[in-house]
Chains A and B, each alone.
Chain A
Amino acid sequence: MKTSLGPIQYCWPKEKVVEFYETVAQSSVPLVYLGETVCSRRRELKFSDYLALAQMLKAAGKEVVLSTLTLIEAQSEFAELKKQVENGEFTIEANDVGAIYLAKEQGIPFVCGPSINSYNAATLKKFASWGMQRFVMPLELSKAWLTQVLEDLAPRQVEVEVFGHGFMPLAHSARCFTARHKGLTKDKCQTICIENPEGLLVQTQEDQPLLRLNGIQTQSANYMDLCDQQTQMQALGVDYFRISPSSLASIALADELPAKSASHDRQCNGYWHQLPGLTLS
């Protein structure tokens, strides 16, 4: 099993993103996803900037995948998506069925991201017939689910990736929760989410960490941490263990992953064990 770095889900200043990927280029991580997956109003980096970073990583020997927006609402966002899919060089991670359509039409291979609803083998086979090369297991599913699906998929034509570490993207809305919290409207948001490089922590009235506001995205308050499940994943035939970046430290974690066990710090792993996602089992 190899390691992958998922797309940065937060709005980071351009120089921080560039620094991040320059460090990734020096690491041993073989597979890197990059691109804006949350909000089209974030314009710190343009598509051309991501493309340049992708080329730099490719030159450093990485396999690179361009991740696309999760919730595509405006025609302008669909036009931008088309540009990404037709980049002529890199595979894309489809985070909306609209991206799958474009990839399929162009005969371009793609990866199904975790927000694509692939809940059974028949669906995955259909995606594979349209050019899917790899899929990331949807977040709310479990080891038991994966075991059954991989059995149903045999002989397997596609690779499988599991979101193994990081704050989980749980939902996407039209509403920008960060802007609203700061008393701003979405249309004049000043990209205020840049002030929360790990999202904004939300707690219950009993101070239980529950969620993270990241613009239009709602995340888990705690890390999903499946580092201690690597042996089981390996045995199942999982190809990639995904680390979702929240800081430069994520690169070090990815670099040294096989030696890491779970950290027990702000952690949850319920979904993998068929429990509520926020549970630590």
Chain B
Amino acid sequence: MELLCPAGNLASLKVALNAGADAVYLGLKNDTNARSFAGLNFTPEKLAQAVKLTQQAGKKIFLTINTFPKPGEEQRWYQAIDLAADTGVDALIMADLSLLDYAHSRYPHLPLHLSVQASATNLGALSLYKQEFNIDRVVLPRVLSMKQVRDLSKVTPVDLEVFAFGSLCIMAEGRCHLSSYVTGQSPNTGGSCSPAKHVRWQDVGDSQQTRLNDVLIDQSGKDEQMGYPVVCKGRYTTSDSQEASHLLESPTSLNTLSLLPELAKARVVSLKIEGRQRSPAYVEQVTRVWRQAIDTYLSDPAAYTTQAQWDQALAKVSEGQVTTLGAYERTWQ
């Protein structure tokens, strides 16, 4: 099982490789990827450096081009694909059908991974992408239960990659409009969920208000630890209850350390760590723990159990310091 780690910049990439990543993923410094935060990502020169460093370390490097081209501006995305092919990355992670088509027809030997933004959760969708664009792998959205992952693994025509750790997206990715509904920008169109420029924190009396494009997403005590404000993790009231609560999900991170044996048995080829927008310290900490966990499992699968110090280390870098198995666990659903 591959440990796939995020690289928002060269510093993160280096610590990921040192801490035991088998592969890293990254994006270009523009809106061709769904994490286009200011200060993140790679220029063509930095990408070339990243490829060199990664390959010297004997690891793999995947480039994420997973937004959807805007009409009339497609060239920017095509150029990103051309650049990736020239630079020698090991695979492209993409969601848009026209981009898969472009890459497959021009660079048939360049492996393609179907991004989570393509929202492919079933045999039919995977079969289509395999048949038409010969994708090698799919990144599954965080909406399937462990049983559903297992069932899919028995019939899938492509390798499976799952999210193992990091911020929990609770919607079928790539088909969620909550961010654009409130801010006008979404991962599909603008390159990020809840763009930072729309976020505002404000002290009002004893409480702190969190606003997203002026919409009040949450209100909390000043000492309360808050996650990054996304619409689905806010506190709201309903027509039948005036008490504000996390109606969709509370700020929490996904942590599947305890599922590692099941994921291995389901022949999941890659465990993805979320967080290209996080610090190198986060990447290092998470990579180190997961390296240990995977090695422990591989050395003696039958004896594997989650170790308390792993969970403690991961809790420190988790949103709200809380972790969940998310949709993998049926009771969460």
Contact = CB atoms under 8 A, between A and B. Distances in A.
A139 B177 contact: yes
B118 interface: yes
B83 interface: no
B122 A98 contact: yes
B295 interface: no
Contacts of A119: 68-71, 96, 188-189
* Band of interface residues on A: 35 or more
Interface string B173-191: 0111110111110101100
A151 B30 CA distance: 26
Nearest to A187: B330
Interface string B316-333: 000000000001001111
Contact of A98 (B97, B125, B177, B178): B125
Contacts of B236: 202-205, 210-211
A165 B43 CA distance: 43
Contact of B145 (A71, A174, A218): A174
Contacts of B127: 101
Interface in B115-135: 118-125, 127-129, 131
A60 interface: no
A10 to B, nearest CB: 15
Contacts of A173: 143, 170-172, 248, 327
A174 B144 contact: yes
A249 interface: no
A211 B142 CA distance: 22
Main secondary structure of the interface of A (DSSP, over half): mixed
Interface stretch (B45-53, B238-246, B256-264, B306-314): B238-246
A202 B219 contact: no
Contacts of A202: 236-238, 247
A117 interface: yes
Interface string A236-255: 00000000000000000000
B144 A168 contact: no
B242 to A, nearest CB: 9
Interface string B275-317: 0000000000000000000000000000000000000000000
Contact of A120 (B69, B124, B128, B186): B69
A104 B231 CA distance: 36
A19 interface: no
B237 A78 contact: no
Contacts of B125: 72, 96-98, 101
A6 interface: no
A56 interface: no
Given A117-B175, A206-B216, A276-B213, 17 more contacts: A97-B124, A97-B128, A98-B121, A101-B125, A101-B127, A117-B68, A123-B96, A168-B177, A172-B175, A173-B327, A175-B249, A181-B238, A185-B333, A204-B217, A205-B237, A274-B184, A278-B181
12 contacts: A72-B121, A73-B143, A78-B122, A122-B98, A122-B101, A168-B181, A177-B248, A185-B333, A200-B239, A208-B216, A277-B184, A278-B215
Interface of B: 68-72, 74, 95-98, 101-102, 118-125, 127-129, 131, 142-145, 148, 151-152, 155, 170-172, 174-178, 180-184, 186, 188-189, 213, 215-219, 231-232, 234-241, 244, 247-249, 327, 330-333
The 9 A-B residue pairs with the shortest CB-CB distance, nearest first, are A98-B124, A122-B98, A119-B68, A101-B128, A277-B181, A174-B327, A174-B143, A148-B71, A101-B124
